[in-house]
Amino acid sequence: MTLNLDDAKNTAEVLTTALPYIQRFVDKLIVVKYGGNAMTDPELESSFARDIVLLKTVGIHPVVVHGGGPQVDNLLKELGRQSDRIDGMRVTDKSTMDIVEMVLGGSVNKSIVSLINKHGGRAIGLTGKDANLIQAKKLMMEKMGEDGIAVPIDLGFVGDVVSVNKDVINMLIASDFIPVIAPLGVDKEGNTYNINADLVAGKVAEFLQAEKLMLLTNIKGVLGRDGEVVTGLTPKKVDALIEDGTISGGMIPKIQCALDAVRSGVKSAVIVDGRVPHATLLEIFTNEGVGTLISREIEASQS
């Protein structure tokens, strides 16, 4: 079979449109946080894996950091276990940590690796415990009491990132592998910690000085008061949107990860609608994208 003339023109236009973006990002490192609906819908899972393989094939270096909260919840439910959350953070005791490690570092991580490899990639699964990839410390939260005094909250084995062993990731990239990282960390005493995947992705991007950080989520991006997606943001604009309440609730931690990465040297960060098939490619190979872009370059050009 051969393409008819109209199909041939459309195909050629798509390929040539992508060319300047491929040239821009070739040999650059992009950290992608993979989670939400994109991890539970078979069609979206497949499109994500193909996107990652295509990026690697054209000379871009993707690093995948994945979540897996719903999968952990499902297994806990099957085992008759209750998992409490405080402000969206899972309270993780020792037995719960064992289950989290089994799901994130085992079934979820290996499933993503297998899917990428099925589509022709060379993925390798890691947790933060491998080669001390992610050094962590215990995360302590504070909650304001009714008397206005901050009360410390112990979440158990929930961690924060201290450092990332970038040599391990760079070695894998140099050997043409695609790292797939489960968000687990380890402290100096050997304790394992469950860490928010957005936070891990942001820190990995920061330590590697990535070109772009991409956070796949279950919403269109940062929404303005009119309900439309707000993009082309700078750290200064984000601060203003948080202050006036436009950005609130569960979006604040996610956008804070993106902000911290940009302020630490990552060229840009984007919060992407992971429910859109091939969202990763659309974000990198088109000018419009499918999410909210945060960049220092925009701020510099306007000052």
Give phi and psi for 220, each to the nearest 5. Answer: -65, -25
Q: Is 145 annotated as a binding residue?
A: no
Residue ranges of E strands in the chain: 29-34, 61-66, 85-86, 89-90, 123-127, 134-144, 150-164, 178-182, 184-186, 192-194, 212-217, 268-273, 291-295
Could you give the C-alpha distances from 257 to 100, 235, 270, in angstroms and in order?
Answer: 22, 12, 11
CA pair distance 271, 251, nearest whole angstrom: 10
109 annotated ligand binder: no
Tell me which amino acid residue 178 is. I
90 is in an annotated binding site: yes
Q: How far apart are CA 179 and CA 165, in angstroms?
A: 13
Tell me if 202 is assigned to a ligand binding site: no
The Cβ of residue 261 has, within 10 Å, a number of other Cβ atoms equal to 28
Residue 183 bridge partners (DSSP): none
* H or E, element range at 207: helix 197-208
Q: How many residues does the chain have?
A: 303
Structure-token pair, residue 30: 């992009």
Closest to 156 (Cα-Cα) out of 84, 108, 256, 78: 84
CA neighbor of 161 nearest in space, from 212, 199, 129:
199
Nearest partner of 93 among 185, 186, 193, judged by Cα: 193
Q: Which parts are annotated binding residues for substrate?
A: 68-69, 90, 194
Q: Which parts are annotated binding residues?
A: 68-69, 90, 194
